[in-house]
Amino acid sequence: MGKWGVCNRKAGYIQIDPDQTDDQKRDTLWHELNHALNDCDTQFGKYVDYDNIFSDMIPAQLQVLRDNPNLVKFLLADTRSKNGKTRKLR
């Protein structure tokens, strides 16, 4: 596995390190989802600038969010307490 996660697009899975904090898990999951959505390992050479990358990425990202409301809840979980300090999720 990579440092915190891995995406195998061909086999159709994402694996993330369960020992990360919840915030790290969210970041890692979103990172790996983008690898899956955009086939970054084989398609990266086609991009000349960031506008091309974003044009390809954003529609796929939005569709994943629309199709997965529980994923959205997980990714957007508020880990701050009322005083603005980070709190641990249950």
Token pair in block for residue 50: 């960031």
Q: Which of 34, 21, 86 is nearest to 64 (CA)?
A: 34
- d(CA 18, CA 89) in angstroms, rounded, equals 14
Token pair in block for residue 58: 């954003």
pTM listed for this prediction: 0.62
Beta-sheet strands, E only, within the chain: 5-8, 13-16
Per-residue pLDDT of the chain (90 residues), as tens digits, is 558 898 888 888 999 999 999 889 988 898 888 888 876 555 555 655 656 676 777 788 889 999 999 999 998 887 665 665 554 544
Domain boundaries of the chain, sorted by first residue: 5-75
